[in-house]
Amino acid sequence: MTEILQTPKLITVFGGSGFLGRHVVRALARRGYLVRVGCRRPDLAGHLQPLGNVGQIQAVQANLRVRWSVDRAVQGAAHVVNLVAILHQSGRQTFDAVQDFGARAVAEAARSVGAGLTHVSAIGADKDSPSDYARTKALGEAAVRETIKDAVIMRPSVIFGPEDAFFNRFANLARYSPALPLIGGGQTKFQPVFVGDVAEAIARSVDGQVAGGKTYELGGPQHLTFRECMETMLETIDRKRLLVPVPWWLAEVQGSVLGLLPNPLLTRDQVILLRSHNVVSPKAEKEGRTFSGLGITPTAVGAILPSYLWRYRPAGQFTRKNEA
């Protein structure tokens, strides 16, 4: 009797060429899925090809602000993952356009082809927040839930990993600056989460192992203040730098000025975000809507940082402890 081979399921990942995206694509490719990556610049997504077998990963042009391109990208997909987000606004890439309108466009496109949906938001999403980032994240969640009631929504805390824009950015700054700023005194609490753990959670939702219609909050095993994050980073790269508290009012002024730059180190909206702690809520913990409920043990910061921050040490991988 001739054996009939089953065609692997097609998964469309919007934002798959970014920091979190490449890890999600790798996790899905390892499971044998065909992965279609929707991104604005597919010509710059060549780094995704080695993550799977020949022909397993395909990048296509898609812009969440252009609805027809979203519809085209989900054709034939069994599941859709939306990872698209921006940290600051630039031109037509506004928070409202990307995180509100864009989230609804992806949800409606997924519904039109009968695909499941996993939407990645962020801890702190709140429609009443004075932060445009947090407000539009909440509006995006509402649009997703309104469109596909059994969609899975993931809310990670600050994500760290080899290509992150958090520890890498401050470690690079520490190479040249004698001091690092502590916005608001550095007392804001984070629950840094490893990018590989978030990718695994998303992949499990695609597998159907995650209950739909729920919002999961993903945080690492440690609660660290901004100051403690900077201290951990400095210890990892063997550098001693002065940590200077910056009052909220001054940070907002600095953010307003720096926000005018093409790739700002800080914006006023980010300062507003820092006024609130970025940790998993007690309610999510109680209801099991965290890593524990997904059967994943989160990875500690100290287990990962040395593997990629070594390049910021005075002599790179050859730096001896306490040499700086």
Residue 141 resides in a domain: yes
Residue 218 resides in a domain: no
Residue 177 resides in a domain: no
From first to last of its 324 residues, the chain has per-residue pLDDT tens of: 445 457 799 999 999 999 999 999 999 999 999 999 999 999 999 999 999 999 999 999 999 999 999 999 999 999 999 999 998 988 889 999 999 999 999 999 999 999 999 999 999 999 999 999 999 999 999 999 999 999 999 999 999 999 999 999 999 999 999 999 999 999 999 999 999 999 999 999 999 999 999 999 999 999 999 999 999 999 999 999 999 999 999 999 999 999 988 888 899 999 999 999 999 999 999 999 999 999 999 999 999 999 999 999 998 877 765 554
pLDDT of residue 2: 47
Residue 280 resides in a domain: no
pLDDT of residue 34: 97
The total domain count for the chain is: 1
The upper half-sphere exposure of residue 287, i.e. CA atoms within 13 Å in the direction of its Cβ, equals 11
pLDDT of residue 5: 52
Are 84 and 102 in contact by the 8 Å Cβ rule? The answer is yes
pLDDT of residue 265: 86
Q: Which residues pair with 81 in a beta bridge?
A: 13, 118
CATH number of the domain bearing residue 42 = 3.40.50.720
Beta strands in 148-258 (DSSP E): 152-156, 159-160, 179-183, 189-190, 193-194, 215-218, 224-225, 242-246
What DSSP line would sit under 112-157, residue for residue?
HTT-EEEEE--TT--TT-SSHHHHHHHHHHHHHHHH-TT-EEEEE-
Q: Which residues pair with 116 in a beta bridge?
A: 79
User: What's the domain range around 131?
Assistant: 10-149
pLDDT of residue 317: 78
With CA atoms as reference, report the closest residue to 233 among 167, 151, 182, 139: 167
Residue 122 resides in a domain: yes
Q: Which residue type is seen at 144?
A: V
* Residues 25, 226: Cα–Cα separation, whole Å: 30
Residue 323 resides in a domain: no
Residue 172 resides in a domain: no
pLDDT of residue 322: 54
Beta strands in 24-98 (DSSP E): 34-39, 57-61, 79-82
Residue 248 resides in a domain: no
